[in-house]
Amino acid sequence: MSINKVIIVLLAFLLQTASLIQAESQKLNVVLIMADDVGYECFSAYGSKEFSTPRLDSLAAKGIRFDHCHSTPLCTPSRVNLMTGKSNVFNYVDFGVFPKGEPTFANHFKAQGYATAVAGKWQLLTAQNGISPKEAGFDRHCVWNIPGTARSRYWKPSLMHDGKVINHGEEKYGSTVIADYLIDFIKTNKDKPFLAYYPMNLPHNPFDPTPRSKDRKSKNAKRNFIDMVAYMDHCVGRIEDVLIELGLRENTLMIFTADNGTNSSLTLDFFGTQRRGGKGYTHDHGTKVPLIVNLPGRIQAGQVNKDLICFSDLFPTIVEAANLPAKKISQGDGWSFWPQCLGKEGKRRKSIYGYYFPRPFSQKFDMMYNHWEVAWARNKRHKLYRDGRFFDVIKDVREENPLGESETLSSVRKRLRTALDEYPQKAERIDYERVTGVRKTLGTKKKK
């Protein structure tokens, strides 16, 4: 080889090495998106024929799709779980309330020099309890469902913009305003590392037409819901487009998930079977949610992962992905799945734990949603409740036929019981003196 060729090869190697070092030293941006009330059955990336989600399909095809991600069955519990990296049994207090004193992933990213913003549905502060976006670690916010905002979330919305409530006009659509806000935040912070948390208000009811609906006066709930899912996908696409436009896409981790299953008033095609949505119920149609992770150049395209993932895992995952110092979370039970995103084996869960008591002091929704205190441990096939109910969740996804005692399954039941017993019998921050009657007894209510 001539001296010139040696020099060329050496220069190429040095340039490539320098680029890799620069990429590693450059802080990763994070966009964490969580849709509202939409189960895995509503995404064409997961096999749906009723819904079209091309932008999310693209993110999944060019990244990794997780097939066994589980949330809690309702809004507030999932938000608290995700933001704190620990199961609700340790810190949940009440619906619509974030437990004071609990650090969030945004607090951690802000402490590491990140610009932080949240745009979407808050639902973590009441007039008496909870915390504001600022207390949760967000520099900027544009949120609905916070004291001072009216009930409207879609047309003619009332939103809090950085501490000021703005009542938008009739021509304004809340989800568009929120996406615009987040895009502005990204543009403003394009030269510094940022964390953008996007807890979308779509496609939660009321099921109204969107700006892209053909019939803007439609009263057909299912038709409108399908349009809302499509508009949700469009909003995700807008966020990705601005990242591409600014040259930030290859340094921005995008994660998409949902807080719980689809509204139970809707009947949908569950892969060949017509069933009601599972929101509010602890079976898979209430807890199994999409999880798509995308980072060009780092996450190999076309991956499908079958590992068990729970919402506690998201906090440590984004911290590891961003190469930040690990956050020691008191009672945290999350495991980072970042190695799996990179195609490595990672730390695999044999089971996940669930706890659910969303409205401890209100019986209003008990008969509709079975909002009684329950806890369970599950693997991909079997699920054991603390009260002893045991299900094959593949054969019996709606959990209608409890399994009896079986010698062949005794070892599975024992392992799940051991997993359950690693957690407290009762929630540690719920004021049980305020809980009424038989609702104090864990798991005594018969499931619907």
The dihedral over CA atoms of 264, 267, 273, 277, expressed in degrees to the nearest 10, equals -20
User: Is the pLDDT assigned to residue 448 strictly greater than 50?
Assistant: no
Gap between the Cα atoms of 138 and 158, Å rounded: 20
| pLDDT over 90 at 435, yes or no | no
Task: Quote the mean pLDDT of the chain.
Answer: 92
Torsion of CA 351, 83, 147, 187, to 10 degrees: -130
Domain residue spans of the chain? 26-341, 357-440
The pLDDT of residue 221 is above 90: yes
Is the C-alpha dihedral spanning 216, 222, 228, 229 positive or negative?
Answer: negative
Give the residue-averaged pLDDT of 85-90. 98
Give the separation between CA 46 and CA 181, rounded to whole angstroms. 29
Please answer whether residues 82 and 117 qualify as being in contact, where contact means their C-beta atoms are separated by less than 8 angstroms: no
Q: Does domain 26-341 have CATH number 3.40.190.10?
A: no
Please give the structure tokens belonging to residue 208.
Answer: 């109204």
pLDDT of the residue at 407: 76
**pTM of the entire structure?**
0.92
pLDDT tens digits along 296-332: 999 999 999 999 999 999 999 999 999 999 999 999 9
pLDDT at 10 over 70: no
How far, in Å, are 258, 267, 307, 317, 350 from residue 347 at the CA level? 23, 37, 9, 12, 10
- CB under 8 Å to 371, separation ≥6 — which residues? 74, 280, 356, 357, 358, 359, 365
Mean of pLDDT values over 36-46: 97
